[in-house]
A and B are shown apart, each in its own frame.
Chain A
């Protein structure tokens, strides 16, 4: 049974207002539950799919902070039970082949029949979360968003170190964890961070004591003396994204019309460098733009800085910001500039954008056909294959679709730089409470990955799966209360799978949705859950 919730739920507004600077319940030292979910806000699947990182926000300030947890998705061998993914897939297969009824299947898994399919969709009750949670650390309250930065090698392959960066509004800070890059066999065996940990469950943040509270060195933005400009992180950090070379990190601050620049140095902690002010009110989400292949190929002689898309809660606009290394100055002090802005006019208001995601798969596929040194091919890919942008907007609830076009600047025939511009051109109606957007894959009837855009409607308890190629809503996924964080876990092929993990903020559990079309009985449905739903006290 979950620990009883001791304090009433505070509203987000009140909580945020009270906790503008440094906020967790240190005095009473009520230790956050390490083996339960507590208003989860971010889910991140590790590069190799071994673990799932879950950030819990302590949204009602019931405890002395939030937590970051590491769940074992798949260290178990194929077909072996005991890991979250393998258990979920086993349940799915059992449900599909059930001849004795679903109740019998649930019983076989020790779960019991689900008697409340409205709040907890699926035939069975939840798997307990505790066995899957292998590691945790305590962080500040109000964790908001996370991004995983992976060190690329000289060829751009993501084989190096990995770092998980998390915005924590209660500090406010960007709290970072050194973690294992399980997508690389070589990195998997290397110690992470300070060298005290190896293996897939590492969560290195110089954690102290039984509560494993992260050390101050892992909370970026609290100490002005560590920055070249003498600054601290502005309040209310929410959206965060890292460039594909993992060097540049941009954070949106929702109450101060600013975006912060952090530069990630693998030899030490990420450094806070620059606050870009003068943005429209309510910066919310940040999405990375994939760097054009021509910029990577001509790095050093090509003017292109890592770029990001930012959405706003209080302005019908999306902006592109761009990194500038300031390499011409000594000492260089990197900064951000507003590169492009586009008004949102595709719906009646447009003034409340939330989640955003950028897809560069078509451009990447084009670039993959270019041979080494073939600049003209890379230029053509950059200019002919715009990036696709997807934005969840609440005014009114809709998925906005846009594109980011790249124009390569030539000096004669030589590409010397590129500029991006964004526009939003279409909307797809959604149900109330559009919030997060996630790009992932379903598996088609042949087991091949197909790109989909998943959009959460928090209030309506729905997730829409949108097929950007066909320009149609493919399926509507019903969830429990307060779906928020999303992560996809996909492997192609005959033995493959594709699962969507849904963090339920309101009732603090995870849902598991099948995204494999070869299983029509469960496709597009939340067929399993992890963690016992625990409604906020006011809903109890």
Chain B
């Protein structure tokens, strides 16, 4: 049928073009019969000539196809898709391979695509398990109701006329606006009998088509009523049996008001206050609320889970019998990132069955954050009611362990269990077999990756339980829940530096593992990798490393060569445990090497540098491989006294001089704590365990400086006519904005979110008084904040990492005590030790004492910068630099990191207009069906090949 539409469109396009003289090239445009699509349900139907007997259970429509739409040698699988703009339901034949008859025109006598009218704002659609009828909830103001489309009437062959609104039995909900729907069975009575309504006695057993559940059970529609905070139970069969055109009130058999249980939102974690840190604000215990607005639903066995857009709960209902539903204790969505925000949820999905460790999970979308939380719903009594937390808290401070998030919000979620079983020696295909990395002849060995990494365990092969997350940008992300191949996705020589557990280390070697560079390639409730994480060429060589060695340039931008005798050096901190060193050497420096470009080099275990050909030295760092998920290719720099990012284009009031009692810099929008400003007093408090004199001296030396970046008023400015200073004095003292003097620096004594308290200039004795500064820079100023005597490390995509927060009590900027943020670091001091032997750990970073800032570690790598070059091969501890380098401001190391972790995404369309609306698992074959709120119609994705298999529009 679409060819007709295409032809018509072409004709329309051609007409004006010809009128203009036939000189224009014509562009063929795909005319789309589907408009804004909403939700989808599936039906399995045989030849329409069979009437009511054409309806089949969905499982009867397996992955078969027919060339012709009217070839009913096998039952056909249909998708019923709501059309939001037109208030219709489109029917799509998923079995036929014909591209002409797939989208069914319900009236071929009328030009264009004709669908099934159901009224405006069709908000949900469901079909019965036996495909006898489809129900559409309609939210049109004044005409809210539910329409039933009998399967005998859903195809044009079953009808005489073009369908109209009055072709369907329907019921009115009055002023009640429906939301989501679910079909559940009212189980047969003790003798197998069914009842016509919840209040009717059980009658005889159901009959009809053998094996069709629609004729064995009585089905109920569970309809959420968001505005009423309730669920209505409506008998599906009674509704479908009403006469066409009826719109009498719906018979609501049960009304289940959703409760918001008394209780409070769980309090967030607190952490030990060490090293002058502060805990984030502890929100007041908040009641869960009183009002509810039910949203998405998910069924898991006898439990129904209902998301809530109003209250921070996920309702749990016992639906063993839909006529006797009861609400249980709810799940409590929370957020470690935003503990004071009530977390509301939009859509849900539950694992279809248990995992191999007998777990069952519910995934819920955080409505505002667009992230996803996992709940363990295996055991109502034992499992926490709050989201599952991953175990890698400190290793990945970019994500919070209680949710999965991407840079794009998650629109919908579906959970899939699948396996591609290998056949054993007896010809039996067993499912659920774990990959075996240790043996060659076991059944699990059949799942090992081959030497070319093309078969067996690999990122693109899904065996186990996975979450498919539909992103609003038009991609599907995949999250690991349980991967049967996880044990083979390991290093062959597990060791601590690769994030391996003691059990994994003791099992070393793993000769048939994929030899990836981390033991945590597959982590439950984490994004799945798109590629192997290894330096093996055959597997794509994506281990994170350096794209180039760090390059040094001085403050004037002049390159400093590796052979320069006096220069700062960036080196890898050396392990302190001789056993680690010994082990690293024995296995070829696996965890203590670095990939540079396409080659991998060992790091010298005495100097921390890369040595090539005996005497060629290279600055380096060492990558952290415990958690692969943190790595992204990007450019980095470490700048001596570099400016903290975030203050470009900012203007602030400089309140100094006699006029102002509180000397400082004021601008509420600068958010100094959020930018990571470290004041003198913050350093003093951080060094609480250090001798007070030393702490004060360090604080004075290392406190951040506010640097005035403004230009002086021009020499011709009338300002100089009335000012107490002259342009010449100001110019000589402060220089220009391009060539500044250090007189523009003012030490930051204390920092608050909205202002800085400034100390007097280090050059006060030279005449740089507050009054002179204010006189030379009247009005608002632009400014920078530069840490003193430190390197500022920032990445092109990660930015400047820090863990400074606003002290909820004093308002001062202080480091957070949250140990999960221990690796959020962006500063490192220069050390005058030639080498640093230090096992950098999150514990050390949280409370370093006098050693603060000597070693740098962020989530991706670690290094230190020495004022001189250590001697390779010299095993002595911490020799002092004999001739430390003197470093000028803006001297910098620059390097790039390559490789890293890329999450596995499936792109749904190359068309940027895609606006995915909903995602459903096709119950007959496990395909993922995505509806598009734009014009892409219905997109099917194979969960086996992880590619789009077909698009219907």
Shortest distance from the beta carbon of A193 to any chain B beta carbon, whole Å:
33
Q: Known contacts A337-B669, A338-B669, A396-B912: does B309 contact A419 (CB below 8 Å)?
A: no
Interface residues of B in 350-370 (CB under 8 A from A): 367-370
Nearest A residue to B408 via CB reads: A345
Q: Mark A175-204, 1 if CB is under 8 A from B, else 0.
A: 000000000000000000000000000000
Q: Which of B48-56, B647-655, B944-952 contacts A (4 or more CB under 8 A)?
A: B647-655
Judging by beta carbons under 8 Å apart, are B811 and A520 in contact?
no
Known: A410-B811, A426-B370. A329 touches B409 (CB 8 A): no
**Given contacts A303-B668, A475-B141, A409 and B408 within 8 Å (CB-CB):** no
B120 touches A427 (CB 8 A): no
- B780 and A429 contacting across the interface, CB-CB below 8 Å: no
A-B contact pairs, 9 of them (CB 8 A): A303-B754, A304-B668, A329-B779, A329-B780, A348-B913, A427-B472, A472-B121, A476-B120, A520-B142
| B368 in contact with A425 (CB, 8 Å) | yes
Which one of A329, A339, A396, A403 contacts B913 once the chains associate, using CB atoms below 8 Å? A396
B655 close to A419 (CB less than 8 A): no
Contacts of A412 in B (CB 8 A): 810-811
For the residues of B in contact with A, the DSSP-based class is loop
Do A326 and B912 touch (CB < 8 A)? no
Residues B66-84 near A (CB distance < 8 A): 84
A window 510-528: CB within 8 A of B: 517, 520, 523-524
B651 A329 Cβ-Cβ under 8 A:
no
From 638 to 687 in chain B, residues with beta carbon under 8 angstroms from any chain A beta carbon are 649-651, 653, 655, 660, 666-669, 671
Q: Which 9 residue pairs are nearest across A and B when measured between Cβ atoms?
A: A429-B933, A520-B142, A396-B913, A339-B669, A429-B915, A329-B779, A328-B653, A348-B473, A348-B912
Q: Is the CB–CB distance between B370 and A397 below 8 Å?
A: no
Given the contacts A328-B655, A472-B139, A475-B141, A417 and B914 also touching, CB distance less than 8 Å: no
Chain A residue contacts of B752, Cβ below 8 A: 409
Interface size on A, residues (CB 8 A): 53
Find chain B residues with CB under 8 A from A346 CB.
370, 408-409, 472-473
Among A303, A345, A417, A473, point to the contact of B409 (Cβ < 8 A).
A345
Specify which chain A residues have a CB less than 8 angstroms from the CB of B649 in the assembled complex. Answer: 278, 337-338
The binding surface of chain A is classed by DSSP as: strand
The chain B residue sitting closest to A322, CB to CB, is B669
Task: Output the nearest chain B residue to A475 by Cβ-Cβ distance.
Answer: B141
A348 and B474 contact, Cβ closer than 8 Å, known pairs A324-B651, A333-B779, A523-B142: yes
Which positions in A face B, CB cutoff 8 Å?
278, 303-305, 322, 324, 326, 328-329, 333, 335, 337-340, 345-349, 395-398, 403, 407, 409-412, 416-419, 425-429, 431, 445, 462, 470-476, 517, 520, 523-524
Return chain B residues, CB-CB under 8 Å to A476.
Answer: 85, 120-121
| In the complex, chain B residues whose CB is within 8 Å of the CB of A305 | 668
Asked whether A411 and B811 contact (CB < 8 A) given A472-B123, A473-B84, the answer is yes
Q: Are B811 and A335 touching (Cβ within 8 A)?
A: no
Question: A304-B668, A326-B653, A523-B142 given as contacts; is B917 within 8 A of A429 (CB)?
Answer: yes
- Nearest-CB residue, chain A, relative to B671: A419
The answer to whether residues A425 and B369 also contact, given A329-B779, A345-B407, A470-B293 and a CB cut-off of 8 A, is yes
- State whether the Cβ of B175 lies closer than 8 Å to any Cβ in chain A: yes
In the complex, whether B525 has a CB less than 8 A from a CB of chain A is no
Most buried by A among B120, B226, B346, B472: B472
Is there contact, CB below 8 Å, between B141 and A520?
yes
Question: Which of A303, A305, A346, A429 counts the most B-chain CB atoms under 10 A from its CB?
Answer: A429
Q: How far is the CB of B758 from chain A (nearest CB, A)?
A: 14
Contact with A along B919-938 (1 / 0, CB 8 A): 00000000000000110000
Question: B residues 661-715 with Cβ under 8 Å of A?
Answer: 666-669, 671
CB distance from A337 to the nearest CB of B (A): 5
Give the CA-CA distance A416 to B309 in the complex, in Å. Answer: 33
For the complex, is B753 an interface residue (Cβ under 8 Å from A)? yes
Residues of A within 8 A of B650 (CB): 337-338
Give the Cβ gap from B816 to chain A, nearest Cβ, in Å: 16
Please give the distance in Å from B270's CB to the nearest CB on chain A: 20
When distances are taken between beta carbons in the complex, the residues of chain A under 8 Å from B653 are 324, 326, 328-329
B157-181 CB contacts (< 8 Å) to partner A: 175, 177
Asked if B227 is at the interface (CB within 8 A of a chain A CB), the reply is yes
The reply to whether A445 and B175 form a contact with Cβ atoms under 8 Å apart is yes
Instruction: Tell me whether B293 and A425 are in contact (CB under 8 A).
Output: no
- Known contacts being A335-B780, A470-B177, is A429 close to B811, with CB within 8 Å? no
Contact check, A349 vs B912: say whether CB atoms are below 8 A apart: yes
| Interface residue? B245 (CB, 8 A) | no
Once the chains are docked, how many angstroms separate the CA of A13 from the CA of B576?
68
A409–B917 alpha-carbon span in the complex (Å): 39
The docked-state distance in angstroms from the alpha carbon of A480 to that of B615 is 79
Interface: B2 (CB within 8 A):
no
In the complex, A322 Cα to B671 Cα: how many Å? 13
A315 to B82 alpha-carbon distance, docked (Å)? 33
B778: CB under 8 A from chain A?
yes
- Which B residues are in CB contact (< 8 Å) with A462? 85
Q: Contact flags (1/0) for B81-121 with A, using CB distance below 8 Å?
A: 00011000000000000000000000000000000000011
CB distance from A519 to the nearest CB of B (A): 9
Seed contacts A329-B778, A338-B669; 8 additional CB < 8 Å A-B pairs: A335-B651, A337-B650, A397-B915, A403-B368, A472-B226, A475-B141, A517-B142, A520-B141
Contact A419 B912 (CB under 8 A): no
Q: How far is the CA of A470 from the CA of B36 in the complex (A)?
A: 20
How far apart sit A410 and B812, CA to CA, in the bound complex (Å)?
10
Contacts of A347 in B (CB 8 A): 472-473, 915
